[in-house]
């Protein structure tokens, strides 16, 4: 087991800073997800951790030892890659035992560790087979078993499920989560899939352009995104963002959106007269026909039945707003709809920078 500390990590490729001053602490035994769009630097950061890249700046500590310039072998780390690179000419047994053999473990120790890892990943029946005789999901399990057989203090995984089809991915996601709880290795798991991140991580680091936009536990990242980037990247649909102006009205402070007023918290007073961005999740809005209570008059544009619920795209002035309703909710395109947001769940962000406003 091991704590990982990244301090001001920079990795340049020519003029591009693939990782741009990242600091992050990952606790002993924690499952940390690095989440972000393609090209944001997730793989590069993981490769720095593994010792496959040497950073241009900053330090990496594993269990308080500065390993920044250590070779991969000296780090007690195992890595599972996206394309899971298992060797086609080796049997499953030899694939799983490969790293142990490299490290000159005895035959008996190799056998013990291979069998344990193979059993955990449920590939113990296929030890004599070659990868070509396995399904994609089984090959993926072999790749994970090979990493686990090493008993690493730190397990690094780079989009390990992305080559699997949707159903298998969902199944493996739950299995991996359980497995990692069992073995307790400190894990850094890279994905661009926000559902995977929410479902698996103890915490999520959301990355954007080589930097960390937010580190929090999954529900916090979902309900209280640090900025519009995070709120827009996490959740399906993404968080709604409406631009309005903070105004003083008879009833107290309000935000005026497309000529319609919603109550705003009193500690937003310093923003009076200024634009703000209001963040609200589609499931925190109630749809109704009639104007009862504070809400927004919208027009339905699109109705999407998604099995368990309806996803409506509505319009208010020039802005669009997505809302979720029960599947039997009677609604059709072009009809007007009165939308009542749960006022306690509104989030207030700076209209220019998109960062969450500190209302304390």
Contacts of 223 (CB under 8 A, 6+ apart): 281, 345
First vs last Cα of the chain: how many Å apart?
A: 38
- Measured CA to CA, the distance from residue 18 to residue 39 in angstroms comes to 8
Does position 240 interact with Mg ion (CB under 5 A)? The reply is no
Which of Mg ion, ligand ADP, none binds 359 (CB below 5-8 Å, type-dependent)? Answer: none
Stretch touching Mg ion by CB under 5 A, among 39-47, 197-205, 223-231, 250-258:
39-47
| Residue placing its CB nearer to ligand ADP in the complex, 210 or 295 | 210
Does position 218 interact with ligand ADP (CB under 6 A)? The reply is no
Does position 68 interact with Mg ion (CB under 5 A)? The reply is no
Stretch touching Mg ion by CB under 5 A, among 43-51, 106-114, 128-136, 305-313:
43-51
Choice from 2, 31, 33, 43 touching ligand ADP (CB under 6 A)? 43
Choice from 9, 18, 230, 254 touching ligand ADP (CB under 6 A)? 18
**Residue of 211, 255, 244, 213 lying closest to 231 (CA atoms):** 213
- Measured CA to CA, the distance from residue 162 to residue 83 in angstroms comes to 9
| Residue placing its CB nearer to Mg ion in the complex, 81 or 338 | 81
**Residue of 173, 178, 174 lying closest to 191 (CA atoms):** 173
Contact map string, positions 241 to 280, toward ligand ADP, x by CB under 6 A: ----------------------------------------
Tokens encoding 101: 């053999």
Stretch touching ligand ADP by CB under 6 A, among 32-40, 130-138, 244-252, 274-282:
32-40
Helix (H, G, I), strand (E, B) or coil at 3: coil
Are β-strands 275-280 and 319-326 bridged in parallel, bridged antiparallel, or unpaired?
Answer: unpaired
Rounded (10°) angle between helices 136-149 and 92-102: 30
Neighbours of 349 (CB within 10 A): 22
| Residue placing its CB nearer to ligand ADP in the complex, 12 or 343 | 12
Does position 44 interact with ligand ADP (CB under 6 A)? The reply is yes
Does position 15 interact with ligand ADP (CB under 6 A)? The reply is no
Choice from 20, 43, 214, 277 touching Mg ion (CB under 5 A)? 43
Cβ-closest residue to Mg ion? Answer: 43
Neighbours of 316 (CB within 10 A): 18
| Residue placing its CB nearer to Mg ion in the complex, 44 or 325 | 44
Residue whose entry in the numeric block shows the structure tokens 């009076």: 272
Stretch touching ligand ADP by CB under 6 A, among 33-41, 85-93, 128-136, 213-221:
33-41
DSSP string, 143-180: HHHHHHHT--SEEEEESTTTTS-HHHHHHHHHHHHHHH
Helix (H, G, I), strand (E, B) or coil at 278: strand
Identify residues 129-168 at the interface with ligand ADP (CB under 6 A): none
Which of Mg ion, ligand ADP, none binds 39 (CB below 5-8 Å, type-dependent)? Answer: ligand ADP
Q: Which residues bind Mg ion (CB under 5 A)?
A: 43
Contact footprint for ligand ADP (CB under 6 A): 13, 16, 18, 36, 38-44
């Amino acid at each position: 087991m091991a704590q990982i500390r990244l301090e001001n990590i920079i990795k340049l490729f020519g003029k591009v800073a693939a990782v741009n001053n990242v600091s992050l602490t990952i606790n002993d035994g924690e499952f940390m997800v690095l989440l972000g769009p393609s090209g944001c630097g997730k793989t590069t950061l993981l490769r720095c951790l593994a010792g496959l890249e040497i950073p241009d700046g900053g330090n990496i500590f594993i269990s308080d030892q500065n390993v920044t310039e250590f070779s991969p072998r000296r780090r007690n780390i195992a890595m599972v890659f996206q394309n899971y690179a298992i060797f086609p000419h080796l049997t499953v047994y030899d694939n799983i035992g490969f790293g142990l053999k490299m490290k000159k473990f005895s035959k008996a120790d190799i056998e013990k560790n291979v069998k344990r890892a193979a059993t955990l990943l449920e590939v113990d029946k296929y030890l004599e087979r070659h990868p070509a005789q396995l399904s994609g999901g089984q090959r993926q399990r072999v790749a994970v078993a090979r990493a686990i057989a090493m008993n690493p203090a730190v397990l690094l995984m780079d989009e390990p499920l992305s080559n699997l089809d949707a159903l298998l991915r969902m199944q493996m996601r739950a299995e991996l989560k359980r497995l990692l709880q069992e073995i307790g290795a400190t894990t850094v798991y890279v994905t661009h899939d926000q559902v995977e991140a929410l479902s698996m991580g103890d915490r999520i680091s959301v990355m954007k352009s080589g930097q960390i936009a937010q580190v929090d536990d999954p529900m916090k990242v979902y309900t209280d995104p640090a900025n519009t980037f995070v709120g827009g990247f996490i959740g399906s649909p993404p968080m709604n963002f409406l631009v309005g102006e903070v105004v003083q009205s008879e009833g107290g402070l309000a935000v005026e959106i497309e000529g319609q007023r919603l109550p705003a918290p009193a500690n937003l007073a310093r923003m009076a007269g200024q634009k703000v961005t209001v963040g609200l999740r589609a499931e925190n809005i109630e749809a109704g026909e009639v104007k009862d209570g504070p809400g927004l008059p919208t027009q339905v544009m699109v109705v999407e039945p998604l099995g368990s619920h309806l996803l409506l795209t509505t319009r208010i002035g020039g802005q669009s707003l997505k809302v979720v309703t029960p599947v039997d909710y009677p609604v059709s395109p072009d009809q007007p709809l009165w939308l009542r947001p749960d006022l306690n769940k509104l989030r207030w962000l700076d209209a220019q920078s998109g960062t969450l406003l500190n209302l304390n």
